[in-house]
Each structure stands twice: as C-alpha cells, then as structure tokens.
Structure 1
Amino acid sequence: MWAARSKLLFAVGLGIPLLVFLQMSMYLLYKMFGWDMPFNLLWLCNHWMSRMGWTWVGHVLVGLAIITFAGTGWLLVHRLMKTRAAMKRLWRIEDKGWSRSLQTKYEHVGQTGFIVVAEKAPLAFTIGLWRPRIVLSTGLLNMLDNDEEEAVVYHELHHLWHRDPLKTTLLTVFASMMPYLPVLKHVAKHYGIVREILADNEAIRRTGNVAGIGSALLKLIRACPESWRVRDMSVQSSFADVSVNVRISRLLDPEQEVALTLPRFAVLVSATAILMLSVLFVWSIG
C-alpha cells in the first residue's frame, strides 16, 4: 500500500511539471524559430490573445516560460553546489576508521556508502543527488545500542537504495517554481512522509522488530541537534527531520491507518488554473 502511494505521488508530482515544461518548450521553439505547432496549448493561447489585441499576453507567457526554466535550473544547480560544499565539510571531519568499520559490517546487504563524522551531535541522514552517502556521527553511534544502530542504518539504506534525496529534491524544486499549482507543494510533502514510513518499514523488516527504530527515533528527538544544519545547505534525507509525529504514532500502533489527503483548496486551485488555461487554448483554435 505504501509503495503504491509513493509511486502515485511521485508520478503526479513529476508528471504535472513535465507536462508544463513540454508545453513551455514547444511554445519557446515557436517564438524563437517560428515552429508551427497547432497542438501546443501555449501557442494556441498566444494566437487567440493576439487576435483579441492582447499582444502583451504573449510577452507574459514568454517571461513565465523563461523564469520557470531558468529558476528550475538555478535551484537545481544551487542545491548541487550546496551539497558539494557540505560533502567537502563532511570529508574533512570524517572518522575514516569508523567509516570502514561500518562499511565492512554492512557489506552483505549490497550497495552502501558510509561517512562517519567526528561530531558530538547525533546525526543520521542520506546526502547526495548522483552518489548518495549515509552520514552518521560519532555522537549518534555512541548513543545507540546495537539494535538501534542497525535500525537507523537500514532506514538510511532504504533512502540510499531508492535515491530519495534526488527524488524529493526534484519534487520540491518543481513545487517551488510552480506556485500557481499549489497541489505540487502538498504532493511533495506527502511524498516525504511516505518515504520515511517506507524506510521505517525497511528497518523493521531487516531487524525483525519495531523497538530498535522506535527507541532510536525517540533518542534523536530528545537530543535535538540545533547547532548542525546540514539540511540547510544540501540535498539529504534526515532520519529525524520529517513527519516525526506520524511515524511515532504508527510505530506505537503498526495497524493504525494513516490518512494522507491533499487539501481540497489546493486541488481546486490547481485544477482551476489548468482548466482555465486549457479553455483559453481551445478557444484559440481556428
């Protein structure tokens, strides 16, 4: 069920922006090279508005397309640069011996990549777009017992195996650049919650019990590492940074059904925006 929800949310959060990008690309090609694409909705809108004498609308559409493309590219590059800067900082304070020890301990599960940093604050997150790594702190490892450590590691391995930092970054960037479709913001938020629940499920399945992941999560919440803000400078999925209340509630009662519903207003506004554009496009035919 949760895997199906994850796939659906990602498909919606990625599919809508890609459709918009496709239309904008076709429109820009028409404006720049004169390519006649009668099925392009933005082209039809511009054509109809020009007939009505509203030529300024064409400039607005061009500006919207350019801002959307440039803004999306800039945000992605910005996230990538911050991630690289964060990785360099992490490499400088890495405890290489402990990293190798964890790598050896968990090499039986397949693809892994650990960076253990010499930091008193308890940290656990997966960072990186193309080559994600699991970052754990010495403060965290000293705080957890063996069962809790395994639960945290398997939780983060789930994020690493499924490239969650990359996927969540794409959804949040698209949502930021298309505020006129507010449903994307809520889709990105719900997707993050679902991914955390699936990572918890991975830890429970691998360890065979819920105690390890539950106690580890409670310990990290109590520790509250306010001084370390890697999440502000990079692309990462943090163990104790998303949907904590939902996760604790579900860990206490695994049979509990967690309802994730999109706000009606956001869905209505997004659907209205798409519908209005579509109507304008259709009117411009002929």
Structure 2
Amino acid sequence: MHFTLLVISMSAAIAFRFAWKSRSADWNTRWQWALGAFLFSPLLLITSAIAILCMGPRGRMVHTWDGWGSYGIAIAFLTIGMILLVQLAIQVQRSLQKIHQLPEEIILSTPARLLEHSTPYIAQIGFWNPELVISEGLLDTLDESHLQVALTHEKAHRHYRDTFWFFWLGGLRRLTAWLPNTEALWQELIFLRELRADRWAAQQTDGLLLAEALLSIVSASQVESEPWMAALGDAIPQSRLNERIDALLDESEPVSDRSFTVWIWLSIVLLPLLMIPFHF
C-alpha cells in the first residue's frame, strides 16, 4: 500500500510536470497555470510522504519490505526538505546581516540602504518586511522621475510580499530540482512576478517612464537574484524584456489577479492524507 502510494505520487508528479508548457494568454491565466504547475508536484510528494509517515511502517495491508522501505524514503524526503529550508533561511539571515551594515538613506521620501557600487541596482531583500537596497550606480544612472517609478516598482514587490512567498517557492524549487521543467517554471514565475509589479507601478505612475528606467538598468547590468530578492533588473532574456516593455506600453484594462482557481484544483494534493484513517 505504501509503495503503491509512493509510485502513484511520483508518477503523477513527473507526468504533470512533463505536461506543462508556457502559454500565450493574459497575465492571470499564465500565473494560475504556472503557479499550479509549479506547486502541484512538490506538494503531492510532500503530502504523500506525510501520509506514509503518519501511517507508519506496519499494517495488515503492508509487507515488511514495503512498509519500512517506503517509510524510510518518506522520512528521507521530508528531512532533506527541512534541511534545504533551514539552509535557505540561514542564507536570508546572512544577507540581511550584510544589508543592515549598509548606511540608511532617505531617497525621495523612501527609506533605503545605500550600496556603494557602480552597477545600477535596486531590490527588495528579505522576508515579510524586506529592506530596500539601492546602489550608488542607480542614483547616477536615473534622474528623479525615472528613479521615482523604479521605487514604485519595488513598492509593488513589498505590497505583494513577493520576497516572502518566493522564499517558500524557492525552497520547493530546491527540493524538487530533479523534476522536469522546474527551472522553466521558476523562470516563468519570476517573470510573471515582475510583470505584476510593473503593472502595479504603471497604474500609479507613467508606464513609459518605467519602461525607460527598466531599459537603463538592464542595459547597464543584469543580476541573478535569489528567491528572497525582488529586483527591477533581474536577469531576463531579450524576448522577455521586450514583453515587459510591451506590457508597460499597453494601455488596455489590466486583468484582475484575484483568482482562487489554482487553489481549488490544487486541493487534489490532499488526497494522500485521506488514506490515513483507512490504514490498519
């Protein structure tokens, strides 16, 4: 029984990831599809491991090799997940310790940590209440109007608590890096996250100014961010940069990002837990 659950969960997780393909659709549809595809497989594996752990290695319907073998795999999987999460948390803490050593400045009425570096850089870094980090290179690159829209973009990341949510998504990414399309889905989510922040900022400022600021930052340098960082100039391919620019210049009515569809069908991952009461 345990081994069967393990095989079914593993097969479903791999098959679901293989089935994913990036879609050309509105932002909300792409976000729901990418987020659901990213979460389904690791959550299914986690709930299956928890179910096996709760049922224990013994039972009338469980052979000795089946019970202890599956039980050991479940414990190992969950233990590795916890270790990876702790490692990620330690990295966040170390980053924050370094950031807290940077001088704090008020830039256009916004508190920020000033990084002494010539590369243009602006990002929210941290967990639930991230720190805004701005480099001297950015202040030298952007004038006041473009700097204001860049700050608004970063306020969007704080508004959506992107650093917090992507910390957890980053943990799942590390745990299931071996699954198909993990990196492709991660890059899709990062890109859609930036599109959402762009849209939020464009609703409050000038989308054209933000597009110009984005081009100025990206043309100077692109930086690969960690899960707990949300930077305006995240490293992206030219095609996706063009898509961000086009989206900023698109004046059509934005699609609502409030949808619970993904959470409804993600409830399928809870099915392994329903087997626990029937174990004997």
Q: TM-score, normalised by structure 2?
A: 0.68
The unaligned stretches of length 5 or more in structure 2 are 1-25, 251-268
Of residues 204, 207, 221, the one that matches 2:205 is 207
Whole-angstrom CA distance in 2 between matches of 1:114 and 1:222: 23
Equivalent residue letter for 1:218 = L
Structure 1 match to 2:156: 158
Give the secondary structure class of the aligned counterpart of 2:233: coil
Structure 1 match to 2:169: 171
Equivalent residue letter for 1:207 = T
- The reply on whether 1:128 has 2:126 as its aligned counterpart is yes
Give the secondary structure class of the aligned counterpart of 1:237: strand
Identity score, percent:
22
- Larger of the two Rg values belongs to structure: 1
Residues 121, 137 of structure 2: 8 Å contact kept = yes
Of residues 117, 130, 149, the one that matches 2:115 is 117
Equivalent residue letter for 2:238 = N
Alpha-carbon deviation of 1:184?
A: 4.0
Whole-angstrom CA distance in 2 between matches of 1:176 and 1:82: 14
Alpha-carbon deviation of 1:63?
A: 3.4
The unaligned stretches of length 5 or more in structure 1 are 39-43, 107-112, 256-273
Equivalent residue letter for 2:102 = I
* 1:66-105 paired onto structure 2 within 5 Å: 66-94=75-103, 96=104, 98=105, 100-102=106-108, 105=109
* 1:1-286 paired onto structure 2 within 5 Å: 1-31=26-56, 47=62, 50=63, 55-94=64-103, 96=104, 98=105, 100-102=106-108, 105-106=109-110, 114-179=112-177, 181-210=179-208, 212-224=209-221, 231=225, 235-254=228-247
Equivalent residue letter for 2:213 = A
| Residue deviations 1:205-264 (CA, integer Å, cap 9, x gap) | 222232x222222222333277xx8x46x7212221243524431255345xxxxxxxxx
Structure 1 match to 2:23: none
Residues 172, 185 of structure 1: 8 Å contact kept = no
Whole-angstrom CA distance in 2 between matches of 1:185 and 1:57: 33
Inter-CA distance 160–244: structure 2 relative to 1 (3 Å threshold): farther
Please report the RMSD computed on the Cα atoms of aligned residues, expressed in angstroms: 3.2
Whole-angstrom CA distance in 1 between matches of 2:230 and 2:140: 21
